[in-house]
Structure 1
C-alpha cells in the first residue's frame, strides 16, 4: 500500500520519548533506548522518514540539562523532551493515566481511582505537550499523537488556532458504552477525541465501542460509511475513524531470528532443557496480562495430564514495571507464590522443574533467542489493545514448528483467530486443555498454522500500519480502504485441533 507522492513532515507526540534519560555514576546524563510496543513500531519508520518526536524523557531534571542531553544525541531525527514535575508524574501518569484510563479501558473499572485532582493535572500536562508541539511544528506538518495519556492535545492545539492535520492512535482497547459511562469526565474526553482529523483503533470492536459512545453522548454527531475507514460529522467538521492493527518490523525479527548467533542461542536453551517442549510466556508486570491465571492453568494441566511431566517446561519471563505502585508489588508477590507452589508440588528428582521464572529485562537478542527456542507460546492477557509479543513470536518462529495459544481478548486475535489456539483467560480449565492440545499437535498442523500466521503478519507489518494511517488522513477517496483479508469479525470458535 504505497503512500501518495505528497510526503508531509511527521511530528510524533507520545507520553514517553523512545530514549530514556538517566544519570550515570559520574553525574553525566546518559540516553538509553526505550522499550514498548510504540517504540518498537515507530522507531524504524521515523528513522526512515525523519521528523520530530515529542515526549517525556523519564527523568526529573531541569529543562536546560534535558534539552542539552537530547540535542547531542544522534537518533537520526529531532528529540524534544517535555519535562514533568514529580507532582505531574504522580497525578498525570500514575494517577489519571494508570489509575483511571488504563483499568477502565481494559474493563477493570473496580481498579479505578476517580480522584478529581488527577483530571486537573491531566489537563495541565496535555496543555504542556500542546505548547511543545506549537514550538516545534511547522505549517503543513502531520501531527500524530499517541495513546490515552494525551487525548486532550488536539483540543488544546485547536484552541490555539492550529489547523494542521492531527491524528490520534489509541494503542489500548476502547471500552463499551456501559463501562465508559463510569468515567466522570466522559463528555470532555469524547469531545476532545473528536477534535482530531483521524482516529485509529486496533480492532473493529474498539471502533464499534467508540461509535456507540459517540451516538449516545454526542447528539450532533452523525456516523457514515463502512469498511476500514468511516466518518463522523458534526458542526461542519469531519473525523475519520479507522481500524489499523499495529504490527512489527517482521523482516527485521525474522532476519535476526534466522541468524547463526540467535540459532545457536536457541539451541543452547533447548540443550539446557532437553527432551521436552518449551512453553514461553513474556509479559510486562501488569494485572491485565493475567499471569497468575496462566500459571494456574499450567498447574491444572500438569495435575490432569501426567503425560506432561518431564516433557514440558514453562519459561515465564516477567519484565519489571511500575514496581513503586503497591498493586504491582502485590502482583509480583502473588506470581512468585504461585510459581513456588506449582514447583513445590511437581518438581521431580533428576532435575525437572516445571516453571522457570525470570524477573528481569531481556535484551532484544535474548528475547529473540527465547522466541526461537520455544515450541509453544502462551499469550493470554485479560484484555490487550494488540499484543505485539504474539506477532514477534510468530515472526521469530523460522522453523514454523511452533504453536501460539492466544487470548481471544487480545487485539491480535482478530487477525490470527483462524490459526492460533484461542482461549478465554478467565477459563482456567479451558486454557489447560489448550496447553495439552498444543503439546499433542502434529508437526504438519503446527506448520500449516504457523506459516499462515507468519504470512499475515508479514503482509500487515509496521510499515503497512503507518502507511494505512497516513493514507486515511491524507487521501480523499476512502474506497481505497477495504477490510484486511485476515481481519474479519471473530466468529464462534472452539479451542483445540481443527
Structure 2
C-alpha cells in the first residue's frame, strides 16, 4: 500500500544510519576543492532518497583517499558534509571484515554458493575475530558516542556488514530503538551449518538485538525465523506473528522490499547524456536487443547467461545478425581474488562466443565493462528482452528499473530466486537460474512473443513497481520507527521498554 507523503517532522531529532558505503563519496576536483559524488550501488541511491524525506546522519567506512582524510581529521567534516561521519579501522582489520568475512563468508553462504577453496575454517575464524567483530566493535563505539549527543531518534542499520554491532550497542544503550534492513537474501537454515556454530549464534543474537529486523521478502523472514529455531535453543520463535523473544527482548521480523524511484529514472531519461548513450547503443533497425546490466559478481550468474545465449545462436541460426546481446557489466570487489577470476572468465567467454558466431558486420555480444549509471539506464530503455538470472538475490533493482525505462514493451526474463520475482513474477518469463537450456528457451520465447502479450506483461510490471516505489519503501521503514518512538512534549523519544521487552 502506498503511504501518504510526509514532510520531515519539525523536531530536530535525526536518524543515525549505519552502512559500510555511505550515500556520498568525497574527492577533489580539478581546482583541489573537496566535492561529493553519489556513492555506487542501489543502497547509496536509496539512502540519498531517504535523506530527502527525513534528516539523517550516516556512519560509514571511508572508501576514498579524501574520505580517509576526513576520517583522520586532516579535513574538517564541516568542510565536506556534516551529515557524513566516517569510522576508520586498520587496513588489515578492514580487509578481513570486508574482503573476507562479509564478501566471501557471508556473501557466498547467503547466496547458496560454494566458498573458495582457500577459505578454510582457520581463515574464517580469523576473519570473524580480527576483522568482522573488530570493525563492528569500532562502529558500535562510534554509534554510542553519537547517541550520547542526544541528537538521534533511532538507529537504522543496513545490510550484512553489521550483524554483530546491534548487540554491542544494546549492551551499552538498552533503551535505544534500532532497526536493521538486510538487503541480501537469507538462506535456508541448514545452509548455516557450513559456518562454525558459535559464529552463527553470534550473528543471530546480534540481529535480534534490534527492535525491528526487516528483510526483502517474506521468504527471507521465514528462513531467518527457522535459523533462530535451529541455532538458539532458548529463543521463543512465533512463526505466525513473525517475532522472536530472546534475552528478554522481543524482535519483530518482517518484510518490506526495496524499490526504485520513478521520478529519478524519469529525470535521468530526459537528460542529453541519456539520449546520447541511447543513440550510441542502439542496434540496426532489423535487430532485436537482449540486454543485461549487472555487477560482475559470481552470484549474478553472468556466465550461465552467456552460455544460454550461445545455445540460442546454435539452435536458431536464423537469428544470426538479427539479435545482439548488449551486456553492461560493472566491475566490483576487484581486490578480492575470486571476483577477479570471475571477471576474467566472463570476458573470455564473451570473446569466444563472438569469435565463434560473429563476423565483420555483427558482434553477437557487445560488452561494456565500466561503472556508468546513465549508460546502463539508456541500455535498459532499448531492450526487447531483459535477462536477469541471478543464482539468488535479495531484490535486484535492474528488474524494476528496466521496465520503468523501456520503450520497446520489452520482456523480462527473471530468476525465480530473485527477490523481485515475488512482486513481478506475474509479468515475467520465470526461469531456474541453474537451468541453462531452460534459459535459452525463455530467451527464444521472449523474442518471439506477440506484441499484445508483450505490452500486457510490461504494463503489469510497471503497475507493480509504481504501487510500491523507493519512497514508499523508506516511508514504511520510517513509519515503523515513528510508531515505536513517539515524540514527547519535550521533543524526545519516549522510553521503549514496554514495546521491546518480552
* Alignment TM class, shorter chain as reference: 0.7 to 0.9
1:47 to 32, 42, 52: 52
Corresponding position of 1:107: 112
Q: Deviations over 1:270-324 (max 9, x none)?
A: 2x53321111111112111111110000000010011211111001111111222
Structure 1 residue 89 corresponds to structure 2 residue 94? yes
1:369 equivalent in structure 2? 378
Match of 1:129 in 2: 139
Q: Deviations over 1:20-40 (max 9, x none)?
A: 245678887654321111111
Q: CA deviation at 1:52?
A: 0.3
8 Å CA contact 1:405, 1:423 repeated in 2: yes
- 1:72 paired with 2:79, answer yes
Distance, in Å, in 1 between the alignment partners of 2:5 and 2:175 is 22
Partner of 2:400: 391
Equivalent position of 2:488 in the other structure: none
Q: Distance in 2 between matches of 1:251 and 1:21?
A: 25
Q: 2:209 aligns with which of 188, 195, 210?
A: 195
Partner-residue secondary structure (3-state), 1:438: helix
Alignment-derived partner of residue 379 in structure 1: 388
Provide the residue aligned with 1:343 in structure 2.
354
Is the aligned partner of 1:98 residue 2:103?
A: yes
CA–CA distance in structure 2, aligned partners of residues 189 and 180 of structure 1: 11
| CA apart distance, 1:220 | 2.8
* Contact 1:99/1:113, CA 8 A, preserved across alignment: no
| 1:57/1:83 contact within 8 Å kept | yes
Residue 62 of structure 2, aligned match among 57, 63, 88: 57
Inter-partner Cα distance in structure 1 for 2:404 and 2:44: 18
**1:181 match: secondary structure:** helix
2:232 is the counterpart of 1:215: no
**1:402 matched residue in structure 2:** 410
Q: Give the C-alpha shift of residue 225 in structure 1.
A: 6.4
Task: Identify the residue that residue 427 of structure 1 maps to in structure 2.
Answer: 435
| C-alpha contact (below 8 Å) 1:197/1:473 kept by paired residues | no
What does 1:246-265 correspond to in 2, within 5 Å? 246-257=258-269, 262-263=274-275, 265=277
Kept in 2, the 8 Å contact 1:285–1:318? The answer is: yes
| Separation in structure 1 between the aligned mates of residue 311 and residue 137 of structure 2, nearest angstrom | 50
C-alpha contact 1:381 1:409 (8 A) present in aligned 2: yes
Counterparts in 2 of 1:69 and 1:411: CA distance versus 1, 3 Å: farther
Q: Tell me what 1:448 maps to.
A: 456
Shift of residue 66, structure 1, vs aligned partner = 5.3
- Residues 180, 214 of structure 2: 8 Å contact kept: yes
Q: Choose which of 211, 218, 225 in structure 2 pairs with 1:204.
A: 218
Aligned residues: 468
Whole-angstrom CA distance in 2 between matches of 1:170 and 1:217: 19
The 1:163–1:140 alpha-carbon spacing in structure 2 relative to 1, beyond 3 Å, is farther
- In 1, the alpha carbon distance for the partners of 2:469 and 2:351 equals 39
- Deviation for aligned residue 1:194: 0.7
| Superposed CA RMSD | 2.4
Normalising by structure 2, we get a TM-score of 0.87
Distance 1:26 1:91, change over 3 A: farther
Alignment-derived partner of residue 471 in structure 1 = 479
Q: Distance in 2 between matches of 1:337 and 1:235?
A: 52
CA distance in 2: counterparts of 1:367 and 1:144, whole angstroms: 30
Q: For the Cα contact (< 8 Å) 1:100–1:113, is it kept in 2?
A: no
Q: Kindly tell me: are residues 321 and 408 of structure 1, through their superposed partners in 2, closer, same or farther at Cα, counting changes over 3 Å?
A: same
* Change over 3 Å in CA distance of 1:19–1:261 after alignment to 2: closer
Distance 1:346 1:109 in 2: 32
Query: Which region of structure 1 is more displaced relative to structure 2, 255-264 or 444-453?
Result: 255-264
Q: In 2, are the aligned partners of 1:147 and 1:171 still within 8 Å (CA)?
A: yes
Shift of 1:235: 4.1
Q: Report if aligned partners of 1:198, 1:239 keep a CA contact under 8 Å in 2.
A: yes
The 2-side partners of 1:90 and 1:453 are apart by 40
In 2: Cα distance, 1:346 partner to 1:143 partner: 54
Deviation at 1:161?
2.4
Give 1:371 deviation, angstroms. Answer: 1.3
Give the stretch that moved more between structures: 109-118 or 62-71: 62-71
Q: Secondary structure at the match of 1:330?
A: helix
**C-alpha offsets along residues 32-63 of structure 1, whole Å, 9 cap, x if unaligned?**
32111111112112133222011012146456
Q: Taking structure 1 as the reference length, what is the TM-score of the superposition?
A: 0.88
1:360 Cα offset (Å)? 1.0
After superposition, the Cα gap between the structure-2 partners of 1:86 and 1:235, relative to the gap in structure 1 and judged at 3 Å, is closer
Per the TM alignment, residue 408 of structure 1 is displaced from its structure 2 partner at its CA by 1.1
Structure-1 separation of matches of 2:343 and 2:273: 33
1:190-234 Cα shifts (integer Å, max 9, x gaps): 1111100000011111111101111122233223364xx722223
